[in-house]
Amino acid sequence: MKNHLAIGLAGEKIARAFLVENGYTLLEKNWRFSRAEVDIIAQHGSWLIFCEVKTRSSTLFGEPEIFVTQKKKRLLLDAAINYMNKIGYCGEFRFDIIAIVYKNDNEYGIKHLSDAFFPGFEGFA
């Protein structure tokens, strides 16, 4: 059985392939700013997408996407703002989560939560 770091890397590879298969253009992987790391930055149509990939070997403790914490969301927003400033981007952007339950390279489940959250607006109806 793979350790958690290897499972995470396998999940990111699966997520990148999934996005490409669905017409996304990959711009960056594991892009870092300060204490934040954005797993995947992609473009789809006019949208700039910041993707957080969560991979787990089981759902015993919950679906992978529930492990994206408020702190992580704030860090992703900081990184996204920095990235957009760096490239001079002023268009539409969103935050997606790609949740993967990984058994092995040929047996996994994948869920793409498009526009999964917007940091700072949680709790508003």
Say which CATH topology domain 4-117 has: Trna Endonuclease; Chain: A, domain 1 (3.40.1350)
**Comparing C-alpha atoms, which of 44, 37, 46 is closest to residue 76?**
37
Sheet of strand 47-56: strand arrangement: 25-33, 36-44, 47-56, 93-104, 107-117
Measured CA to CA, the distance from residue 62 to residue 41 in angstroms comes to 26
- Please give the structure tokens belonging to residue 44: 């789809």
Q: Tens of pLDDT along 39-88?
A: 999 999 999 999 999 999 988 899 999 999 999 999 999 999 999 999 99
Residue 95 has pLDDT above 50, yes or no: yes
- Give the residue extent of every domain in the chain: 4-117
**Comparing C-alpha atoms, which of 73, 118, 75, 121 is closest to residue 93?**
118
